């Protein structure tokens, strides 16, 4: 089970600590290439991108929604 919140302004997803102030853009959930499940992209300021992948669309939608909620609360 992933931690929902590590510290104020930091969010954890799949072992990565995301500084919420550095998130510039989130894509919608889409089917990953090569039958690897579903993913969405997180783009950060500075042209860095993280692409978390999940086995089901439901899990990907849930994780994206939780990240959006954390971004709205910052």
Phi, then psi, of 17 in degrees rounded to 5: -95, 120
Phi-psi map region of 22: left, alpha, beta (phi>0 left; psi -120 to 50 alpha)? alpha
| pLDDT reported for residue 9 | 86
Q: Do residues 30 and 54 make contact, with C-beta atoms less than 8 angstroms apart?
A: no
**Does some domain include residue 5?**
no
Residue position matching structure tokens 């997180």: 42
**Does some domain include residue 38?**
yes
Number of domains into which the chain is organized: 1
**Does some domain include residue 4?**
no
Residues of the chain with pLDDT under 50: 1, 5
Taking all residues of the chain, what is their mean pLDDT, rounded to a whole number?
A: 89
- Record the pTM: 0.83
Residue position matching structure tokens 């998130």: 23
**Does some domain include residue 20?**
yes
């Amino acid at each position: 089970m992933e931690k929902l919140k590590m510290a104020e302004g930091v969010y954890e997803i799949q072992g990565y600590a995301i500084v919420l102030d550095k998130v510039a853009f989130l894509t919608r959930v889409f089917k990953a290439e090569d039958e690897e499940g579903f993913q969405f992209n997180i783009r950060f300021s500075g042209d860095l991108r993280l692409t978390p992948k999940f086995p089901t669309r439901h899990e990907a939608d849930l994780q994206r929604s939780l990240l959006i909620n954390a971004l709205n609360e910052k």
